[in-house]
A and B are shown apart, each in its own frame.
Chain A
Amino acid sequence: MIPPIVMDLIKIKKLIISLSIFLAIVLAGLIGPIVYPVNPVVMTGPIEQPPSSKYPLGTDRWGRDVLAQLLHGIRNSLSIGLTAAAISLAIGVTIGVVSGFKGGITENSLMLLTDVVYALPSILLMMLIAAYLEERNPFLVSIVIGVTSWPWVARAVRSQILSLKTREFIDMSRMAGLGDLRIMFEDLLPNMASYIFMAFVLLMSGAMIAEAGLSMIGLGVTRGISLGIILYWAQLLEAVRRALWWWFIPPGVCLVALATSLLLLSTALDEYFSPRLRGE
């Protein structure tokens, strides 16, 4: 049987819309390359062709199929975003939970660490680190993004923990003699599941945009395609000046759609989980 939460969620219009947009794009990225088996990096056709029946999104300045680039790019952007978000989530949640729960010196030193990392602007830090990396594979890029984007998660999680900490069931677990780790896992985390999920959604959105930003400035994945890299080449090869709109508009649209749908998704979830904000 479908759990009641899903039935409730389906009723929210906003959720359905944003989720469907997002999933549509994800689907395109996942099965697109299979359904449309064109190699994005091979220069197959005539250069600078506007969309036609043979090349649904035209070709770029090197004669590469733009649609193929787009599909592969979506896939890569999504995977990098996912990985980076996972890394940030892991770091942020761990630090947040431990510091909120333990308190004392642990809390203070962890929060100090968080604040220091938070003070350094993430984009610049990413650029800096990536600049010195010779070979940037997707995983490495994810790490760079993940390692610089977690502070806000840690802060937010910590404040959640602090408010949960004072509830009764924690005291009961303590009285029952449960160790710290068990309390963290069995009592605290399940209550924060919704929050963690929303944080993940936001992280992913931010990570994809960050990856695009890095790619635009030449610091993305060194070999490969992503939405940001398509834009990078478009910019470098003067797509705008040459009016090759089919080259630079679709990747941007996809990126914006992905990020916005994720954002809408998180606001919809947020309204669901905090009903008072639904706007009476």
Chain B
Amino acid sequence: MNPFVKFLSRRAGFLVLTFITFIFIIFLLPRAIPGNPLSTLLSQLFQRAQQNPELIKAVYRQLMEEFGIGKPLHVQFFEFISRTFTGDLGTSISAYPRKVADLVFSYLPWTLGLLIPATLTSWIIGNLLGALAAYKRKTIVDNALLPVFLTLSQTPYYWLAMILLFIFAVVFKVFPIGGAYTTGRIPALTLEFALDFLHHYTLPFLSITLSAMGGWAIGMRVMAIYELRADYVSYADSLGLPDSKILRYVFRNSMLPQITGLALNFGSILGGSLITEVVFSYPGTGFLIFTSLSRLDYPMIQGTFVLLISTLLLANFIVDIAYALIDPRIKTGYTGG
């Protein structure tokens, strides 16, 4: 069998497995945790029933229906899966009767608009600075930059956000306090709105970019140092000293790649940006998650996470395939390891 097809089916199998595991967890959580959060939510609703009995009853019915409470477990599971695949992520409780999907997709673009450009910028600049620090290893440049980057990489995105907000929006009132645009304005594709938008966009963007930059910088620095030394070693010791092999061995067993990998993993970047939104009251997915958590809007929480994580799994799969297409080694069946 063509090794590429083998690789493809392996990765696809992994995708399916991870996805099922995840769905399983999502499905089990509200039902298996002692204390049964669903019932707590329902009783909470009952307490609120005084205010608006009709509304509460409707919400209650919807909840029962969607979570399939009372039906046998496998029926619940099946309904859950089929519903997810048809795009129905449920109905929100706190914003009843708006659907989860509707809310999520209204908030999502704002997050993506922040996250993607920020990641790109921090990556580009971080790489440049990291390489710079690597080339000037023993000099003041490196000695000054390295601790800065290390600290930055460990600074929580949201705390940096608070600092920036404090300095630039409270002390020096250069930037607005929060939000994505001035309240009351209607978002539209006009220059005027664009300027207002950018005005509100700057600080959140900076928080994410600066924090992430630390990580990319040390990562690049490590890589660049390694390459530099490898070059030096193979140039200076062309007599075939086993130095480069030892170097490779040592490098692989050291913590450095680990450290950078940790600072840069997708989870922390995403998590950091989401929480940053909260600090700025920026109307993105993070903000949505935050408010639905405080209101115990389980359908919303569930729907959002399902969307975010399943697409992430899919993205991983696609990237693996993409690498396979580009890298001739995989095509010929090289699995290494």
Residues of A within 8 A of B (CB): 112, 115-116, 119-125, 127-129, 131-135, 152, 156, 159-160, 163, 195, 198-199, 202, 205-206, 209, 212-213, 216-219, 231, 234-235, 239-241, 243, 245, 248-249, 252, 255-256, 259-260, 263-264, 266-267, 269-270, 274, 276-277, 279
Contact = CB atoms under 8 A, between A and B. Distances in A.
A121 B156 contact: no
B240 interface: no
A53 B52 CA distance: 52
A218 B305 contact: no
Given A152-B261, A263-B259, A274-B250, 11 more contacts: A116-B17, A121-B270, A122-B267, A123-B267, A124-B271, A133-B33, A134-B40, A160-B253, A209-B156, A256-B151, A256-B155
Contacts of A263: 150, 153-154, 259
Contacts of A133: 33, 35
- Most chain B CB inside 10 Å of its own CB: which residue of A120, A135, A199, A266: A120
Interface of B: 14, 17-18, 21-22, 25-26, 29-30, 33, 35, 37, 40, 137-138, 150-151, 153-156, 158-159, 162-163, 165-166, 169-171, 177, 225, 246-247, 249-256, 258-259, 261-262, 265-268, 270-272, 274-275, 278-279, 289-290, 293-294, 298, 301, 305, 308-309, 312-313, 316
A216 B165 CA distance: 16
A134 B259 contact: no
Contacts, number: 172
A274 B253 contact: yes
A106 to B, nearest CB: 16
A205 B154 contact: yes
Nearest to B247: A276
A234 B274 CA distance: 17
The 5 closest A-B pairs by CB, nearest first: A123-B271, A121-B267, A252-B159, A259-B154, A270-B255
Contacts of A249: 163
Contacts of B309: 120-121, 124
B334 to A, nearest CB: 18
A240 B254 contact: no
A127 B256 contact: no
A217 B275 contact: yes
A149 to B, nearest CB: 9
Q: Which of B22, B154, B265 has the most CB of A within 10 A?
A: B154
Given A116-B18, A123-B270, A245-B166, A152 B293 contact: no
Given A160-B253, A218-B290, A255 B312 contact: no
Given A124-B271, A131-B301, A274-B250, A243 B259 contact: no
A132 B33 contact: yes
B259 to A, nearest CB: 7
Contacts of A121: 265-267, 270-271, 309, 312
B262 A277 contact: no
A252 B162 contact: yes
17 contacts: A116-B14, A120-B22, A121-B267, A121-B271, A122-B265, A123-B267, A127-B271, A152-B261, A202-B258, A212-B156, A231-B159, A240-B166, A252-B155, A256-B151, A269-B255, A277-B254, A277-B256
